[in-house]
Amino acid sequence: MTAVLPAPAAAVVVPTAERKRRRRMAVLYAGLVAGLVAATLVAGGSGQLTIPLDEILGSIAHRVGLDVGPLPSHPRGEFTLWNVRFSRIAMAVVVGASLAVAGAAMQGVFGNPLAEPSVVGVSSGAAVAAGAAIVFGLRFAGDWSIPVCAFLGGLVTTLLVYALSRSDGRTEVVTLVLTGIAVNAVAGALLALLMFLGDTQARESIVFWQLGSLNGSRWTYVGVVAPLAVVGVVIALASARSLDLLALGERSARHLGVNVEALRILLIVVVALLTAAAVSFCGIVAFVGLVVPHLVRMVTGPGHRTLLVASALAGALVLVCADTVARTAVAYTDLPLGMLTSLVGGPFFFWLLRRTRRTAGGWA
Amino acid sequence: MSRTALATLGVTLSYGHRPVLDSVDLEVRRHEVLALVGPNGAGKSTLLAVLAGDLAPDTGEVRLEGRPLAEWRLRAMARERAVLTQEHRISFPFPAADVVRMGRAPWRGLPEEDEDDLAVAEAMTATDTERLGGQPFSLLSGGEKGRTSFARALAQRTGVLLLDEPTAALDIGHQESVLARARAESRRGAAVVVVLHDLSLAAAWADRVALLHHGRVTAEGAPADVFTAPLLSLVYDHPIDVLTHPATGELLVLPDRRACLAREETA
């Protein structure tokens, strides 16, 4: 397409392509935000107690001080909307964005599209630590005890996997994935041991963890998780350009001024932070971190700045939709969210794999 | 500004028990193309990696602009020297133009950032890669990848260029244009180090050559002084002829195949 242009036009062609790309990104961002707003309104209205759209909008308007539109007509409408549904939706947004950004950052750090927090054991490590906190009744930090344990568990497990898969200053991706499998197996055993040791209530809590659910998300939980997520996303975004350079390989990234080891360790901590923040109250929600960045990359291209922002929005959208399905698909039942994302995400990932093989010769 | 841009002082390096570099003293000067030549495993790429700061020598020191490499911040160093590695890989399908633009990363937030578009366009024109701009780097051919990576190094606009086999996988025309460009950079004041296997190319484009053998600099000087048939035959362990081109007077370094052909005939 550019071949027919005379050579001096090259300098002009680049900015035009750049403008086109920017427009596409703007459309994508607008679409994702609109989708998220629509999904939030639909999710807010659906459930055992159906609240019509105009009542939701009216309720929101009243909350921000505008005296327009009708309030929910059902006596428990207002309470359900704000204290059950919106808190849950907010949690879905935070968790979805965190997991997708963690996945995208992880893939960038290891230069491999197969890297995902759960592949290298962050989720299971966080689950073991949180399980231990539940079983042994650790309350050293009040409301923050479980997230703190989950965070430390996730961080220690990731660093362990990273250290084990590293030799001679290089990280072999295959070794990394295999180490992750080994560490996941041990974590699974430890979790089983904790369930064996715990009482019925603790056991139930752990099962809830592994299935993953946003049931019972309260605003206080959102208040605990959201700051961690915000810090993680901001650091990941600040590292976006370095992640782009890292795609050239460790040596070339270093030649361009990136301190590769420091960047890796920083981002692994960020991934642990985001994942632990996400799973601390909701359990293991698989495949969001793996599939969402892939899908987004197909549209945005590999540049990490747009990839991370769009992944955060797309992850939030996916999780709000998934959670709405989880709690409305079967009446009076809350399906486990993690089960749902895996059920859909697994085959979807397989499709992505086949598609990439066809179009780009596969992932080496 | 001194004439020496980069220097190694008694650099020794071993991989395990295998010594790769043995007390190498080398000066890389401005306004000059220095070619590193030598047989496989002589330590050329290792020496380049040491010069680039990728490998820390066991003993000895590398100085960039008179300051030891360890004292440099990576980003400041990236504004002084660009490196072209032998391997051209990428993890995600970035378009070639984005890869070239990555060479501008060290200048982010500085006044030179304004020259980004110009530097990228100029580097891509110089390496004949403009029409590859929109294609994913991972799908380019070996030679196209090599040229795109060279464009990235040029876009970095540094005073020192370290090029590890920039002509590998290139056709003869592009080999010439890449080395001509490297020499043009040196004439504008850059210090250029280039690892080469083709000795005729080295003779044609380098101002100075360093012949490495078993991790030592066996000979160093102008190509005409270093490239002598007895020395090259000894170092490469193969009979080699050095001729003068009848028309241009350039040095031609060729293997002497007579012994080999004679063996075939008697067999």
Q: Which residues of A touch B98 (CB under 8 A)?
A: 244, 303
Tell me which residues of chain B, numbers 136 to 195, contact chain A at a CB-CB cutoff of 8 Å.
136, 138-139, 156
Cα–Cα distance for residue pair A270/A282, rounded to 1 Å: 19
CB-nearest to A255 from B82, B94, B133 is: B82
Band of residue A6 on the pLDDT scale cut at 50, 70, 90: very low
> What is the least distance, in Å, from the CA of B31 to any CA of chain A?
22
pLDDT at A207: 81
Do the chains contact at A248 and B138, CB–CB below 8 Å?
Answer: no
CA distance B56 to chain A (A): 13
Tell me what the mean pLDDT of segment B176-192 comes to: 96
Kindly determine whether residue A247 and residue B156, on different chains, have CB atoms separated by under 8 Å.
Answer: no
The phi and psi torsions of B27 (rounded to 5 degrees) equal -115, 135
Alpha carbons A254 and B53: distance in angstroms, whole number = 9
Contact B82, B156 (CB under 8 A): yes
Q: Which residues of B touch A3 (CB under 8 A)?
A: 131
d(Cα A280, Cα A148) in Å, to the nearest integer?
A: 8
- DSSP annotation of B95 reads B
Q: Is B74 on the interface with A (CB under 8 A)?
A: yes
Contact A113 B92 (CB under 8 A): yes
Average pLDDT estimate for B119-136: 93
Helices and strands (H and E) in chain B: how many? 10, 12
Distance CA A33, CA A313 (A): 7
pLDDT at position A154 is 84
Distance, in Å, from the CA atom of A191 to the CA atom of A283, rounded to the nearest integer, reads 13
Q: In A, which residues are within 8 Å of B138 by CB distance?
A: 360
Q: Token digits for B157?
A: 């606009």
Rounded to the nearest 10 degrees, the angle between the axes of helix A288-300 and helix A86-110 is 70
Mean pLDDT of chain B: 93
Chain A residues whose CB is inside 8 A of the B95 CB are 301
> Is the Cβ pair A14, B120 closer than 8 Å?
yes
Does the pLDDT value for residue A5 go beyond 60?
Answer: no
Q: Which residue has the higher pLDDT, A110 or A316?
A: A316
Q: Which residues of B touch A2 (CB under 8 A)?
A: 130-131, 133-134
- Rounded to the nearest angstrom, the minimum Cα separation between B234 and chain A is 34
The number of beta carbons lying within 10 Å of the beta carbon of residue A53 is: 11
**Angle value at C-alpha A254, between B210 and A252, nearest 5 degrees:** 70
Please tell me if residue A203 touches chain B, with a CB cutoff of 8 Å: no
pLDDT in tens, A232-288: 999 999 999 999 999 999 899 999 999 988 898 899 889 888 887 888 778 788 888
Q: Say yes or no to pLDDT of A3 above 50.
A: no
Cβ–Cβ gap B125/A7 under 8 Å: yes
The pLDDT value recorded for residue B102 is 96
Q: What is the spatial distance between Cα A197 and Cα A168, in angstroms, rounded to a whole number?
A: 40
pLDDT score of A171 more than 80: no
- For the ranges A8-22, A115-129, A149-163, which has the lowest average pLDDT? A8-22
Handedness of CA B122, B123, B124, B125 (dihedral sign): positive
| Complete DSSP assignment for B116-141 | HHHHHHHHHHHTT-GGGTTSBGGGS-
Beta carbons of A255 and B98 less than 8 Å apart: no
Q: How far apart are CA A364 and CA A244, in angstroms?
A: 19
Q: Report CA-CA distances (Å) from A39 to A34, A128, A288, A308, A329.
A: 8, 33, 17, 21, 15
Which of B28, B29, B26, B136 minimizes the C-alpha distance to B90?
B136
- Rounded distance between C-alpha atoms, residue A167 and residue A306, angstroms: 33
Q: C-alpha dihedral over B69, B72, B74, B75, to 10 degrees?
A: -140
Tell me if A252 and B83 make a contact (CB, 8 A cut-off).
yes
pTM score, two decimals? 0.87
Cα–Cα–Cα angle for A153, A240, A272, nearest 5°? 5
- Residue B139's nearest CA partner among B178, B96, B86 is B96
Run of H or E residues at B7: strand B4-15
Please say if the pLDDT value at position A14 is more than 70.
no
Q: Which two tokens stand for residue A341?
A: 């994302």
Which residue type does B241 have? D
Does pLDDT of A102 surpass 80?
yes
* pLDDT tens string B205-221: 999 999 999 999 999 99
Query: What CA–CA distance (Å, rounded) separates B228 from B252?
Result: 11
Residues of B in contact with A10 (CB under 8 A): 121, 124-125, 130, 133
Q: Which of A149-153, B15-19, B29-33 has the highest mean pLDDT?
A: B29-33
Find the CB nearest B90 among A108, A241, A248.
Answer: A248
First to last CA, chain B: 62
pLDDT score, position B45 = 92
The residue assigned the tokens 């100029």 is B122
Residue with tokens 């306004």: B31
- Please name the amino acid found at residue A128: V
In this predicted structure, what is the pLDDT of residue A10? 45
Q: Is A4 on the interface with B (CB under 8 A)?
A: no
Q: Find the length of chain B.
A: 267
% of chain A with per-residue pLDDT over 90: 31
Is residue A2 pLDDT above 50, yes or no? no
Considering only CB atoms, A247 lies closest to which of B82, B92, B139, namely: B92
